[in-house]
Amino acid sequence: MLGKLRRAAELWAQGEKCLAQIHLAHLRLPKLESEEQAFRLFLADRLIASGHSPRGLCEALGFDLPEALRKYNPDEPRDRRGRWTNGSDGVDNKIILISVDDPEKEKDDPLYQEQRALGEETPEEDERHGRPIDPMGPTPFPIPGPRPTAAQASTPKPSDFVGQDFGKLRVGIEKPELGINLLSNHAVRRTEERSLSPSDLEDTVVNPLMVLRQSSGNFFYLSDNAVVVLDRSGKVVTTYSSADFDEKIY
Amino acid sequence: MAKDHAFMDVRSILMRDWDPIMMSGYLPDDEYDQYIPGVIRLLESNCGHEQLANYLLNVEKNWIEMEPQPERAVLAAKNLITAWKAKP
């Protein structure tokens, strides 16, 4: 699975989107059913890009990585398609492909035939190479782009999300030149109830991870610690802390 | 103290049909709880939907301080009254 994801990412980066889509189709990943799922995957990707471990993320959400991925070792020699090799240089001609006779599958499954045509390993070959993978199991992390090195990993910032559509929360924008100048009566009460300090609000507006422009015209600021919603004049409409970040935000 | 059914029903309708901040699904469940006692008092007095809608519009204007949305206030008021009358 990881080999196919890597290959898809490489092809996508090269502009070969159709080929990338084919590799993704072979993975038979479950479809995203809602904007919320897409948003959660997106946030997970950002957290991993900023240095959080995928396994730590899974554990925080209450499940572990599938066994095949726990066994994954990025230092094992692989070819450019991510398949294990018997050499260390990853050259294609060192790969040993095991042909699989499964006439029933070959008759009935067009994707199976396509896999053979592209030289991709079939699920049976994956298993023989010690990679039991359940394509319908929980997706451990989102389809990755090139994984940044530790030196490259950085905290997400609003410019990372400009133009991205977050459904009901609307669209990512650059951080506006706007500061907090007032709190609505509603916001004053919520701040007290939710034990937020003025600096919690200020920090969220000054250093947000992302800012979204909402259909109401308000601005949604998200940080690690809080959400602050400002109207166009800089008045705080509402706010809540990360204690209230549930699956909706994550 | 556990919130009773009436409170929870009102909370649910306010979040679903009123939601003046227009972020339902991405707000804490108790976002509009402050206004529920006022709504329940009106419901208990057998108010009409106009009176209840005006209460909600007042909250939008003077508390939440966003542009009032009369259609949503009226919809919420009607559904609140319907649900209140239907409760056992």
Strands A182-183 and A235-241: parallel
Classify A185 as helix, strand or coil.
helix
> What pLDDT does B82 receive?
96
Of the listed ranges A13-22, A113-122, B75-84, the one predicted with least confidence: A113-122
Look over chain A and give the mean of its residue pLDDT values, rounded to a whole number. Answer: 72
ipTM: 0.94
Q: How far apart are the first and last CA of chain A?
A: 25
> What pLDDT does A140 receive?
44
Handedness of CA A22, A23, A29, A32 (dihedral sign): negative
- Chain B contacts of A193, Cβ < 8 Å? 30
Q: Do residue A10 and residue A120 come from a single domain?
A: yes
Task: Please indicate, yes or no, if residue A137 is contained in any of the structural domains.
Answer: no
Q: Do residue A57 and residue A102 come from a single domain?
A: yes
User: pLDDT tens-digit profile of A179-217?
Assistant: 999 999 999 999 999 999 999 999 999 999 999 999 889
Of the listed ranges A59-68, A79-88, A161-170, A225-234, the one predicted with least confidence: A79-88
Average pLDDT estimate for A61-76: 65
User: pLDDT tens-digit profile of B30-40?
Assistant: 999 999 999 99
> What pLDDT does A76 receive?
62
Is the pLDDT reported for residue B15 higher than 60? yes
Task: State how far the Cα of A175 lies from the Cα of A211, in Å rounded to an integer.
Answer: 6
Is the pLDDT reported for residue A101 higher than 70? no
Is the pLDDT reported for residue A242 higher than 80? yes
Question: Does the pTM of the predicted model rise above 0.80?
Answer: no
Could B31 and A189 be called an inter-chain contact, meaning their C-beta atoms sit closer than 8 Å?
no
Q: Do residue A116 and residue A193 come from a single domain?
A: no
| Nearest chain A CA: its distance from B88 CA (Å) | 32
Q: Do residue A184 and residue A235 come from a single domain?
A: yes
- The domain segmentation of chain B, as residue ranges, is 5-18+36-86
CATH (domain of A239): 3.30.2310
> What pLDDT does A35 receive?
77
Could B62 and A185 be called an inter-chain contact, meaning their C-beta atoms sit closer than 8 Å?
yes
Q: Sorting pLDDT into bands at 50, 70 and 90, what band is A89?
A: very low
Task: Please indicate, yes or no, if residue A164 is contained in any of the structural domains.
Answer: yes
Task: Please indicate, yes or no, if residue A249 is contained in any of the structural domains.
Answer: no
Q: Do residue A22 and residue A118 come from a single domain?
A: yes
Closest by alpha carbon to B21, among A241, A233, A176, A217? A217
Higher pLDDT, B65 or A61: B65
Distances (CA, A) of A26 to A19, A31, A73, A146, B71: 11, 13, 22, 20, 48
Provide the percentage of residues in chain A whose pLDDT is more than 70: 56
> What pLDDT does B25 receive?
84
Task: Please indicate, yes or no, if residue A141 is contained in any of the structural domains.
Answer: no
Q: Do residue A11 and residue A119 come from a single domain?
A: yes
Q: Do residue A123 and residue A169 come from a single domain?
A: no
User: pLDDT tens-digit profile of B53-77?
Assistant: 999 999 999 999 999 999 999 999 9
> What pLDDT does A93 receive?
40
Q: Count the domains in chain A.
A: 2
Of the listed ranges A18-27, A113-122, A141-150, B27-36, the one predicted with least confidence: A141-150
Q: Do residue A18 and residue A77 come from a single domain?
A: yes
Q: Do residue A45 and residue A99 come from a single domain?
A: yes
Of B22, B63, B65, the CB nearest to A235: B65
Task: Please indicate, yes or no, if residue A148 is contained in any of the structural domains.
Answer: no
Task: State how far the Cα of A3 lies from the Cα of A26, in Å rounded to an integer.
Answer: 11
B24 to chain A: closest CA residue: A168
Q: Do residue A123 and residue A222 come from a single domain?
A: no
Parent domain of A87: 2-128
Interface probe with B: pick from A186, A212, A245, most Cβ of B within 10 Å: A186
